[in-house]
């Protein structure tokens, strides 16, 4: 019989709602799992156990009264340390912010609570949430519970490692250049980057972000099943008036043609043969499930990745350059230097041109996705990287940057995308990425379910090294 911490979020919510187990029992089991494995992987860096037990008690009391606490009824969840959670520091992996204690929950945290979620801890991120690896001078390094020698991804590496290790059933992540999709991929999980405006965002502990992050940064879920992605999106996407970008678009929409485009190497990016094989297998799975899949080039990704770099680096150079210097995290400084070199100097003219070019790309992608509601493409051009590869040398950073082309491109367009785990190769997880039209996360979930059904259920990882 499986341990409670091996259950999916959907299984837990159903069991608690039907009184087969209590939310308190579930919370205790996951907190014990946290105590057992977190010292090995350092995924959770802020403990919320007292709050978790109180929240679980409230769920149990609601169930006892005959009420439905919500779609996340008693489900253990973690929150990334770059969003506000009342009573906890929104550190973003920075020593400079270790005393920046939030006075209010961010919308996504509020929504998780309202849906019956039980927050058991807060998860690690690289300094400034700036890397596809997870390490900082405040909280330390997070390890991948599948293999300590490979990255857990970033910047939501703590979230993915916690879900993979059974510390929680759902992990909250954020994504401006792959920070949900890549950690999910690296840890053998599913991860959804929703459309811009789907999940409300706001941190009262800091000033509003500049235009780059407003257009590209989103919150979303990391989980061990597609059904868990679906219920967590339902919870996270509830309305909150504090986000001016929020779009009240229904998650349940009209029928769609089961037609997909397979683009194995967008814009000629290098893609390892193992990943090409995973993409071909996913395409065959979709065909067997009734989809028409055409091998065809998708709209451009490189110009979108360049726009991402311009918008993100313009924001960082203008608003965070001093903080990066003051924080004195050598790896963050190295990465910032390389990313700035890639983007070039971003003045007002460059920012305006990038925003102008973005409109044309959004249009081109919208027209393509009207004909092909799903695009199947790589999450990354390589299997999960060795730990700390990006800071080994400038050449290594350049290789990492190239492999992450799809991670960087899609946020600039604003479309939703889903990283779907498909197994492992030589001890490293592998998966594929799905892209859908704006606000059509339902199509992603439908295709993701078909791919998931053809494989084996994701199992909790055991970090069993000494």
> Has 250 been annotated as catalytic?
no
**Closest C-alpha among 108, 153, 162, 159 to residue 131:** 153
- If one counts every other C-beta atom within 10 angstroms of the C-beta of residue 449, the result is 16
Six-digit token string for 441: 């996360």
Which DSSP category does 222 fall into?
E
Six-digit token string for 55: 């929240």
71 with 103: CB under 8 angstroms?
Answer: no
**Helix count (H) and strand count (E) of the chain?**
16, 13
> Has 22 been annotated as catalytic?
no
Which residue out of 10, 179, 232, 417 is catalytically annotated? 179
> Has 417 been annotated as catalytic?
no
φ and ψ at 264, to 5 degrees?
A: -75, -30
Which DSSP category does 268 fall into?
G
d(CA 122, CA 119): 8
Six-digit token string for 326: 């003051």
**Closest C-alpha among 335, 371, 382 to residue 257:** 371
d(CA 73, CA 17): 6
190 with 419: CB under 8 angstroms?
Answer: yes
Which residue out of 110, 129, 155, 156 is catalytically annotated? 155
Which residue out of 10, 22, 80, 156 is catalytically annotated? 80
d(CA 120, CA 261): 40
Q: Which residues are catalytic?
A: 80, 155, 179
């Amino acid at each position: 019989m499986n341990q409670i911490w091996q259950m999916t979020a959907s299984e837990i919510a159903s069991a608690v709602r039907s009184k087969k187990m209590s939310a308190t029992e579930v919370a205790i089991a996951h907190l014990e799992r946290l105590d057992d494995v977190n010292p090995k992987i350092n995924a959770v860096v802020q403990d919320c156990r007292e709050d978790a037990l109180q929240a679980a008690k409230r769920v149990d009391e609601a169930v006892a009264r005959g009420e439905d606490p919500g779609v996340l009824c008693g489900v253990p969840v973690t929150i990334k340390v770059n969003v506000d959670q009342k009573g906890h520091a929104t550190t973003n992996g920075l020593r400079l912010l270790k005393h920046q204690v939030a006075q209010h929950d961010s919308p996504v945290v509020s929504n998780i609570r309202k849906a019956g979620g039980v927050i058991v801890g807060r998860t690690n991120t690289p300094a400034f949430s700036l890397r596809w690896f997870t390490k900082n001078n405040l909280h330390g390094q997070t390890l991948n519970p599948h293999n300590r020698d490979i990255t857990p991804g970033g910047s939501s590496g703590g979230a993915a490692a916690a879900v993979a290790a059974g510390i929680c059933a759902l992990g909250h992540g954020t994504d401006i250049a792959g920070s949900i999709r890549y950690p999910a991929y690296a840890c053998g999980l599913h991860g959804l980057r929703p459309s811009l405006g789907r999940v409300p965002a706001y941190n009262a502990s800091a000033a509003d972000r500049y235009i780059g992050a407003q257009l590209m940064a989103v919150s979303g879920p990391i989980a061990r099943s597609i059904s868990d992605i679906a219920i967590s999106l339902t919870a996270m996407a509830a309305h909150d008036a504090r986000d001016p970008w929020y779009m009240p678009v229904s998650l349940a929409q009209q029928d769609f043609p089961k037609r997909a485009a397979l683009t194995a190497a967008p814009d000629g990016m290098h893609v390892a043969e193992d990943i090409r094989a995973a993409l071909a297998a996913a395409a065959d799975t979709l065909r067997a499930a009734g989809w028409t899949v055409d091998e065809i080039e998708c709209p451009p990704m490189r110009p979108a990745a360049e726009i991402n770099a311009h918008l993100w680096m313009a924001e960082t150079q203008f608003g965070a350059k001093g903080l990066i210097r003051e924080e004195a995290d050598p790896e963050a400084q190295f990465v910032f230097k390389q990313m700035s070199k890639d983007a070039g100097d971003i003045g007002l003219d460059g920012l305006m041109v990038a925003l102008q070019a973005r409109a044309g790309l959004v249009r081109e992608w919208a027209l393509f996705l009207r004909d092909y509601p799903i695009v199947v493409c790589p999450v990354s051009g390589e299997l999960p990287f060795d730990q700390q590869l990006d800071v080994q040398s400038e050449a290594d950073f350049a290789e990492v940057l190239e492999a992450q082309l799809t991670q960087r491109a899609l946020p600039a367009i604003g479309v939703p995308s889903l990283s779907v785990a498909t197994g492992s190769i030589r001890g490293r997880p592998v998966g594929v990425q799905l892209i859908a039209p704006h606000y059509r996360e339902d199509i992603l979930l439908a295709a993701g379910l078909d791919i998931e059904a053809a494989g084996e259920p994701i199992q909790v990882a055991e970090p069993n090294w000494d």
